[in-house]
Amino acid sequence: MLRYSIILKVNKIKNTILNSPHESQLTSNQIHIWKIDINNPQIDLDKLPREILSQDERKRAARLRSAKDKRRFTVSRVFLRKSLSHYLDTAPSEIKFTYNKYGKPNIDPEHHPQNIRFNLSHSKNLALYAITQNREIGIDVEYIRNVDKAGKIVRRFFSKDECEFYYSQPNNKKNWAFFTLWTRKEAYSKARGMGIGLPTKEFDLQLVPPEVGQINHIRTKNKESKWSLIDIEVDSDYMAALAAEGNDFEINHWKLDDIRQL
């Protein structure tokens, strides 16, 4: 079994929320993060331009039975297309996606040569989008909650050292430890384009001290590629992390309350 030898530097950043996405164009050394409260009453589902969704997206929304799930999917996809159109200089309805064998969406390079990369995540009422250029990227957000059989999940998906870290925490810190580890590992797995296809027990996320984590840098076939892992402060009830290739970038963060901001 291949054991990844990884170190991934983890930094903590605070929100840098700008007023308008048009304040700054995306450059190759930037990552833009968009934050949306899906249940924001200013977002009227009936007034969203759902016509910009593809036929497949509309079918997927129609198949969802729960009104909450239908809203979450529709709002997140409309805002995704609207935000990406800002960078691709094309109509939202004209954006084409491809999907790898693990289901990770990418912008179709045959239709959009700008080499824009993105990733999205949503949990409960919050959706996050990470958008960059010329680098792989992954983002994950989780609503902090009590997890049934958390210990069983930890033993199944976390490495030995991560399990020891989790069980070393007092009971009132275990939820924090669980979601800190989970969002970071998930963001990294998504950046790699594999999601749950990447064996999460085969790389370690060290958290000593707890505020700063490190993962040993991946080395496979005598090749190394540097990754950065960053905690994103989005809300006191949520944990979020971003993984990206390299470390030569800055992050801008926007909170969107209305589709008209786009």
CATH of the domain at 232: 3.90.470.20
Percentage of the residues of the chain whose pLDDT score is greater than 70 = 77
CA-to-CA distance for 178 and 188, rounded, in angstroms? 16
Burial of 60 (0-12, 13-18, 19+ CB in 10 A): middle
In terms of pLDDT, which residue wins out, 135 or 200?
135
The model's pLDDT over 139-176, given as tens digits with 9 standing for 90+, comes to 999 999 988 888 899 888 888 888 888 899 999 989 98
CA-to-CA distance for 217 and 228, rounded, in angstroms? 10
214 — pLDDT class (breaks 50, 70, 90): very low
The answer to whether the beta carbons of residues 247 and 29 sit under 8 Å apart is no
The model's pLDDT over 32-87, given as tens digits with 9 standing for 90+, comes to 999 999 988 888 888 899 999 999 999 999 999 999 999 999 999 999 999 999 89
Asked whether residue 235 is assigned to any structural domain, the reply reads yes
* Radius of gyration of the chain from its Cα atoms, rounded to whole angstroms: 18
Asked whether residue 206 is assigned to any structural domain, the reply reads yes
Distances (CA, A) of 220 to 28, 203, 217, 224, 225: 26, 12, 10, 7, 9
Confidence (pLDDT) at 91? 95
Mean pLDDT score of the chain:
81
Asked whether residue 148 is assigned to any structural domain, the reply reads yes
Asked whether residue 213 is assigned to any structural domain, the reply reads yes
Confidence (pLDDT) at 258? 61
Those residues with Cβ within 8 angstroms of residue 2's Cβ, 6 or more apart along the chain or in another chain: 202, 220
Asked whether residue 141 is assigned to any structural domain, the reply reads yes
Asked whether residue 2 is assigned to any structural domain, the reply reads no
Query: Is the pLDDT at 181 greater than 60, yes or no?
Result: yes
Asked whether residue 208 is assigned to any structural domain, the reply reads yes
- Domains: count for the chain: 1
Give me the domain span that covers residue 219: 7-261
Asked whether residue 125 is assigned to any structural domain, the reply reads yes
